[in-house]
Amino acid sequence: MRGPHNIIRLIRTGATFERTGAMDVVLDAYDAPASLRFVARLLGKPFQWLGYKGDPLMPPAPRALTALGPAYIKFGQVLSTRPDLVGNDLAVQLRVLQDRLPPFSTAEARATVERELGAPIDTMFSEFSEAIAAASIAQVHHARLADTGEEVAVKILRPGIERAFRRDIDAFYFAARVVDLFAPGARRLRPMEVIEHFDGVVRGELDLRLESAAASEFAANTKDDAGFVLPPIKWNLSGRRVMTLGWADGLSLGDNAALDAAGHDRAELGARVLRLFLLHALRDGFFHSDMHQGNLKVAANGDLIAYDFGIMGHIDEYTRRVYAEILFGFIRRDYQRVAEVHFEAGYVPADRDVDEFARALRAVGEPIFGMNASHISMGRLLTYLFEVTERFGMETRTELILLQRTMVVVEGVARSLDPNINIWEVARPVVEDYIKGSIGPKALLHDLKRTALVMARFGPRLPGLVQNALVAQATPPVPPRRFPWALVALTGLCGVLLGAGAVALADKVF
């Protein structure tokens, strides 16, 4: 599917960007090199008549992406939360792509529900509204359960969306190869891996059973988090193309006037959004990575309600520790330690000078910390850090794409609620608590316990493993009758005893 026939799709894409005026906007935002500008013009200018016209009332970039279809819209949504990559102006333009698309017919939605759930819709829902929100992949209807009268939200995939995405993503892969070929300077951004990441995110969103499972796991992780609730999943009324969940009744987090009228403390809400995101990312390694105002509400009692779990981020424990140390180093203005963490994690090539890198990081951090609290920005820090790490040969960390972009989004949400929020002061206690629990003595004992459990599980295999290792290293081969079985048995016994002792010690500590 990723052959040269995608040239036609790229030509139409370039033509649409030319016709809508988005080409210059995008090329300037990426500071594209001359070679890439030449290829873009070659694919767009002569074929401008083939491009889609789009909605002339929209800004150029959203106008082009909306005209090109759902995969382009979703890609624009992802880029709208990455001002570190596309610049603030383009990021602001792309935000209009969130949940403002024409819906498909209610008749088609009802038919999809019946096909997916295998029953007449009237036996499941006593009420079923017109679409109340429509995005690039799915739309949502308000409904009421026929048996209990409970209000629910029903999310339904767009008809034919899987095929449309597969076709467009194939073209994205082809475009990434073109960028690799004609813009060597952009290879550091690892365009193929970025598209692979985007492909994985979309695949997850195209199976609502996976979104339901993600919501369920997220709810289990956060059940004890004060002031944060999730609508429950109705598993008996959910499937691959349909997801039913409890109705989230509250005020939009983007409606400041309504929040003020209801008496909510916007400053506290902004700080809570940021704290919860960091807590979920660092404590659980599993976080909501589409936390814009459209996916957050405030209940009458002040609880934050999150929904739309199609994009969830996951980072492993080691990466969480590295990320926390980097954040903590900036908070403490310990730039030498931040530099060392980058080298220890392999983020910066080992042949670079760590002291020079630390000085470059100081040039990033000090101007930010010298600002007024209302101007301190994680987004600005990420932008500057991106520029510095580029000079030192650091490649894009694809495993951190969702974490980085979500942090920028969450900061924007928090600052929209409280323009004077001090991002670092809010983040400090969360990061410090994680550092204490993940890097100190308690964390060491926890790691020893996990290691001991693994050793105990493989205890019966230790004699064979030791034998194979000794036989492989022996020259000439050791005759079987001379093999030191006593040594093997003693080694295995010591391993089991060490594992059992470490488990017992860790159990006392924990």
Burial per residue of 235-244, b for 16 or more beta-carbon CB atoms within 10 angstroms, e otherwise: eebbbebbbb
- Which residues of 220-363 form beta strands (DSSP E)? 228-229, 242-246, 251-252, 286-288, 296-298, 304-306, 312-314
Q: Which of 84, 168, 170, 290 is catalytic?
A: 290
CB atoms within 10 A of CB 441: 9
Q: How many residues does the chain have?
A: 510
- Residue 307 to residues 246, 289, 310, Cα–Cα distance (Å): 10, 11, 9
**Contact (Cβ atoms closer than 8 angstroms) between residue 298 and residue 305:** yes
- For residues 499 and 289, what is the distance between their CA atoms, to the nearest angstrom? 38
**Contact (Cβ atoms closer than 8 angstroms) between residue 367 and residue 375:** no
Long-range contacts of 172-179, Cβ-Cβ distance < 8 Å, separation of 24 or more = 172/71, 172/75, 172/198, 172/199, 173/2, 173/6, 173/199, 174/2, 174/6, 174/7, 174/9, 174/10, 175/6, 175/10, 175/13, 178/10, 178/39, 179/36
3-state SS, residue 271: helix
- For residues 262 and 257, what is the distance between their CA atoms, to the nearest angstrom? 9
Q: Is 290 a catalytic residue?
A: yes
- Residue 500 to residues 176, 446, 458, Cα–Cα distance (Å): 52, 14, 12
Measured in whole angstroms, how far is the alpha carbon of residue 156 from the centre of its chain?
22
- For residues 411 and 214, what is the distance between their CA atoms, to the nearest angstrom? 23
**Contact (Cβ atoms closer than 8 angstroms) between residue 286 and residue 320:** no
- For residues 14 and 48, what is the distance between their CA atoms, to the nearest angstrom? 8
Cα dihedral across residues 370, 376, 380, 385: positive or negative: positive
Q: Which two tokens stand for residue 3?
A: 């052959």
Cα dihedral across residues 451, 453, 457, 461: positive or negative: positive
Q: Which two tokens stand for residue 134?
A: 């429509």
**Contact (Cβ atoms closer than 8 angstroms) between residue 272 and residue 227:** yes
Phi and psi (nearest 5°) for 477? -55, 140
Crossing angle for the helix pair 378-391 and 401-417, to the nearest 10 degrees: 150
Catalytically active residues, by annotation: 290
